[in-house]
């Protein structure tokens, strides 16, 4: 009998409202995380943005996305690149004995530097001999 008192259209409307609410909460969390992670504004400006977004939610969120939306993406990309570099460095350190690079890696790096013209043939040979000696 419950199906007759709660029509199908009302179920879809309720699902839409719940999804919108979850999306709204997610957007607020993303904005607050970006706001407090941001290094280009001070504490007073952060507090003002926080109160603006909190007290006037729709206008505050739209204004924040318009004014600082491009910087949000740039900060997120920079953080992702930084985390990837730290992870790669950690993997390199763990994958070799005592954190030292292998002779093969050193020779590959030297060959790459020589191919790009960063070091001369003499510097390459000297570094190669040093790498093979250790």
Nearest to 31 by CA among 14, 52, 7: 52
Question: What is the Rg, in whole angstroms, of the alpha carbon atoms belonging to the chain?
Answer: 27
Note down pLDDT in tens along the chain; length 134 residues: 555 666 778 889 999 999 999 999 999 999 999 999 888 889 999 999 999 999 998 999 999 999 998 888 888 888 899 999 999 888 877 776 555 567 787 888 888 888 888 888 888 888 888 888 76
Q: Give ∠ CA 109-114-118 in degrees, rounded to 5.
A: 100
- The pLDDT value recorded for residue 99 is 52
Q: Where are the domains of the chain?
A: 2-95, 100-134
Half-sphere exposure of 46 (CA within 13 A, CB side): 13
What pLDDT score does 69 carry? Answer: 87
Per-residue pLDDT at 90: 83
Measure CA 125 to chain center: 40
């Amino acid at each position: 009998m419950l199906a007759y008192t709660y029509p199908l259209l009302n179920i879809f409307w309720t699902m839409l409202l719940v999804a919108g609410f979850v999306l709204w909460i997610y957007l607020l969390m993303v904005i607050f995380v970006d706001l407090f992670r941001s290094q280009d504004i001070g504490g007073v400006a952060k507090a003002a943005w926080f109160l603006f977004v909190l007290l006037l939610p729709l206008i505050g969120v739209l204004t924040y996305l318009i004014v600082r939306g491009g910087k949000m993406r740039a900060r997120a990309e920079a953080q992702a690149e930084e985390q990837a570099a730290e992870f790669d460095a950690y993997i390199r350190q763990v994958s070799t004995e005592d954190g030292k690079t292998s002779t093969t890696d050193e020779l590959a790096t030297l060959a790459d530097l020589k191919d790009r013209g960063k070091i001369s043939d003499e510097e390459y040979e000297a570094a190669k001999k040093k790498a093979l000696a250790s």
